[in-house]
Amino acid sequence: MTRTPITLTLLALLTGCSTPPAPLESQVLLRTNTAWDGSPYPRYPDGPAELTLVKIHIPPETTLDWHSHPLPNAGYLLAGELLVETRDSNKQVSIKAGDALAEIVDGVHRGRTDAQAAELIVFYAGSQGVPLSQPAPATTPLTALLDSIDQRLHIAHAVALNKWDSGQPVEAPEREQQVIANAQSQALRFGVDGQRAALFFADQIEANKLLQYSALSRWHAVGSAPQTPRVDLGSQLRPQLDRLQRTLLSQLAEFDRNRPAHCPATLAQAIAQRARDPQQSVALIRATTHLCSPQ
């Protein structure tokens, strides 16, 4: 009987010293009735509601295909950086880890990464039977070709980082000749004249080097390069360039079969309509120097 008061006293002391629960914290990441490009959201799809939450990993130096979404959706970037751009209205937005994005409904767009992979969570508010996304309608042969040229130019930044780290020069005559010779040897199976392919890829190489020289000059001016994750030149970037080579040859053949009547003017207008910084525009012009040359 003498232990009961002691036990009650200890319980009272312990209860009095307990830590109160931490207050609830919440943060609204996104609330909007318009997409990131300013377009208003339409009504939700008809039918039984269906919510979908998707985790997406996009490798470094990757450009997604043009696509659209028939339903409202929003993304939250967990890691990396992602550039999202539209095809028709030439708008773009860059987001980094911790940013939320209200995606476009119906408008054709795509995302692309730089040297760092991107990981994001996307929430779709739809209805049963409605696809989350769908491929964009076919573009003109010129637009498709310019898209792939853009992808190749986009890799220049990652190549320049490798050159900065290794101290290697931008000029790599042996590698450049290998690329041109390989394109020339594959040209016939894609329906492209060998000399046409050689000249076209020589232009791609020179345009890529313009961007590399520009990036290296900026980094030398400040004494350092960006501290972004590197993408290996030999095991990752060059295989990606080799895959793009086959795509470009196929698209070049299609362009030659459907060449615009006023090719130089049409090409200049197509380049001018693309939203980009001046250096990228100059590089694209250099990459298409001989595109409209007489065959």
**CA angle at residue 27 from 22 to 33, to 5 degrees?**
160
What gap in Å lies between CA 71 and CA 96, rounded to an integer? Answer: 24
H helix runs in 100-193, sequence order: 141-154, 156-166, 173-190
H helix runs in 99-138, sequence order: none
What gap in Å lies between CA 289 and CA 292, rounded to an integer? Answer: 8
Token output for 115: 């040297």
Q: What is the pLDDT of residue 240?
A: 84
Per-residue pLDDT of the chain (295 residues; tens, 9 = 90+): 445 555 555 555 555 556 778 888 899 999 999 999 888 888 888 889 999 999 999 998 888 989 999 999 999 999 999 999 888 777 889 999 999 999 999 989 999 998 889 999 999 999 999 999 999 887 899 999 999 999 899 889 889 999 999 999 999 999 999 999 999 999 999 999 999 999 999 999 999 999 999 999 999 999 999 888 888 888 888 888 888 999 999 999 999 999 999 999 999 999 988 756 788 899 999 999 999 998 7
Name the nearest CA neighbour of 84 among 210, 211, 100. 100
Q: What is the pLDDT of residue 239?
A: 86
Q: What is the pLDDT of residue 2?
A: 47
Q: What is the pLDDT of residue 7?
A: 56
pTM above 0.85, yes or no: no
**CA angle at residue 275 from 285 to 154, to 5 degrees?**
60
What would the DSSP string read from start to end of 221-253? HHT----PPP--IIIIIHHHHHHHHHHHHHHHH
